Structure 1
Amino acid sequence: MKLNLRNPLCFFDLETTGINITQDRIIEIAVIKLMPNGEAIHKSNVLNPGIPIPAETSAIHGLREEDVKDKPTFKEVAKDYARFFDGADLAGFNILKFDVPMLVEEFLRNDIEFDYHRKKIIDAQKIFHLMEKRTLAAAYRFYVNKEIENSHTAEADTQATMEVLLAQVERYEGQEVTDGLNRKIGEIKNDIETLHKITSTGMVDLAGRMIFNQKGEEIFNFGKHKNKVVTEVFKIEPPYYEWMMNGDFPLDTKRKLTEIKLRGFRK
């Protein structure tokens, strides 16, 4: 089919050194500019980010420092891309949460105003999630091919959840499971320990304020110390513990926080 366009629509995607909008940089940018007449104009660049590329991100997109050392920086191509995006609306997958903020940050870092407020932004991921609901009723319909009777009663929802899990194990048994960074985290098996590791590994507290990193260390998952090791934060900023203990955080989070702090004292 052909999209009805008044303005050009730029589909774009970024590969980056990481997921921190303020600290990470773009390594690759690709844009397809779909014109109202149906013409598609392609533009892409591999870029030198000017900072180290972590091995874990190289494993995802395949770009290493030796691959980009002779490539242009974003600064060198920024004006060219700003002109390419000029007058066009934006489209992509998960661009509202990541790609647009990252792109705007790079433009502003290079003193180029990128007024996204004047553009229409289409996020295909948002449409996907809106149309393919991630509810128990939708899961029951998908896996069991039935409608829940008396939905939102505890007994009916509990029965449906049990049937969904049984159907999931039957459907996916033996299949590999990867996380959002395409790292293998396990394989679906008819085994409770295995299923627990796939669905719950990485949690430190139930609210998700702290998680485990790849080294098995507790790190913060929010705020100014996000991705920093909890014990290291307590060393450089001891009042942070008191701030959290006096703050509006769940008791479970505070309990785990205290366990980590006391463990640090015992070392």
Structure 2
Amino acid sequence: MRLNLIKPIAVFDIEATGVQIGKDRIVEIAILKVYPDGTREKYETRVNPEMPIPLETSEIHGIYDVDVLNEPKLNEVGKEIIEFIGDADLVGYNCKKFDIPFLIEELDRVGLEFNTEDRKIIDVQNIFHKKEQRTLAAAYQFYCNKELTDAHAAMADVDATFEVLESQLLKYEDLEPTAEFLDEYSVVGPKTLDFARRIGVNKEGEPIFNFGKHKGRKVQDVFRKDPNYYKWIMNGDFAKDTKSKFTKVWNSIK
């Protein structure tokens, strides 16, 4: 194993009824947990989303309503998903924009909290886009010289993602094999505090609005002058992760 780990990493992938965070539901999740000594464990389950899977979505990942009819609901497996991940750092393909905020939102829906505050997050897609800019299937072909025949099957995507990460470390000498380095390297664009990129960071490291009429202004200043703006955000159609980050700023000025 080329990774130099201090604590485990959890490589994971979600298949869902769609891509709208907060509205769509998980239908499958697969996790590969890799320990510092190279030991690996796998977790995989399909989930009854309690809503129809659109046909166009089923045709992408191959999971239809009949396939999840008798599968457990998220409130029945949510705790074991959290327990399996444990304190591991997180790895995924496009995980910062989709899988992680999607998982946070879904677990919150069933009354469970998934905290990412103290985790390193490695987005293999961002590393790939910085180096080559292709899809996962193309990355698998490029780095591993293999064809991804089961694309959009969650565990196949997980296995491919980990193989690609290992191959990236072998190919690029400037990539350090630590979660700390790869967490920083897999950031694309200006730094943000939330996965939805609604909260930016200025040169002084202070949170600023990354949208709307207050874009570029410090969040603390806006909240002090207009407390109702915080209430509007809390009642708005924002991801749970974004709301929690705004709440942290709000609590710091109370």
Normalising by structure 1, report the TM-score: 0.49
Deviation at 1:75, TM superposition (A): 0.9
Aligned AA (1:89): D
Q: Which amino acid aligns with 2:26?
A: I
CA distance in 2, matches of 1:81, 1:133: 31
- Matches of 1:17 and 1:71 in 2, distance apart? 15
1:3-152 matches, cutoff 5 A: 3-132=3-132
* Distance (Å, rounded) in 2 between the aligned partners of 1:65 and 1:132: 36
SS in 1 for 2:128: helix
C-alpha displacement of 1:46: 0.8
Which residue in 2 is equivalent to 1:227? none
Contact 1:9 1:88 in 2 (8 A): yes
Give the letter for the 1:43 counterpart. Answer: Y
Q: How does 1:82-231 map to 2 (within 5 A)?
A: 82-132=82-132
Supply the distance in 2 between the matched residues of 1:95 and 1:18 (Cα, whole angstroms).
15
Q: How far apart, in 1, do the equivalents of 2:133 and 2:123 lie?
A: 16
Length-normalised TM-score, structure 2: 0.52
**What displacement does 1:84 show?**
1.0
- Matched residue, 2:195: none
Q: Deviations over 1:36-82 (max 9, x none)?
A: 11011000001100011000000011111111100001110000111
SS at match of 1:122: strand
Q: Distance in 1 between matches of 2:19 and 2:132?
A: 26
Q: Match of 2:117, SS?
A: helix
Aligned pair count reads 136
Q: Distance in 2 between matches of 1:107 and 1:65?
A: 21
Q: Which runs of 4+ in 1 moved over 3 A?
A: none
Give ranges in structure 2 of 5+ residues lacking alignment. Answer: 135-151, 153-211, 213-254
Give the CA deviation at 1:2.
2.5
Give, in angstroms, the shift of residue 133 of structure 1.
Answer: 6.2
Deviation at 1:114, TM superposition (A): 1.1
SS of 1:53 mapped into structure 2:
coil
Q: Distance in 2 between matches of 1:57 and 1:108?
A: 23
Superposed displacement of residue 132, structure 1: 2.5
Identity of aligned residues (%): 47
Could you tell me whether the CA contact under 8 Å between 1:2 and 1:38 is conserved in 2?
no
Partner letter of residue 68 of structure 2?
V
* Unmatched runs of 5 consecutive residues or more in structure 1: 135-180, 182-222, 224-267
Aligned-pair distance for 1:3?
A: 0.9
Larger Rg: 1
Q: Distance in 1 between matches of 2:85 and 2:42?
A: 12
CA RMSD in angstroms, aligned pairs only: 1.8
Deviations 1:63-113 (A, max 9, x none): 111111000011100001111112100001000000001100111112211
Q: C-alpha distance in 1, partners of 2:90/2:104?
A: 12
Aligned equivalents of 2:117 and 2:131: distance in 1? 25
CA distance in structure 1 between the aligned counterparts of 2:39 and 2:109, rounded to whole angstroms: 32
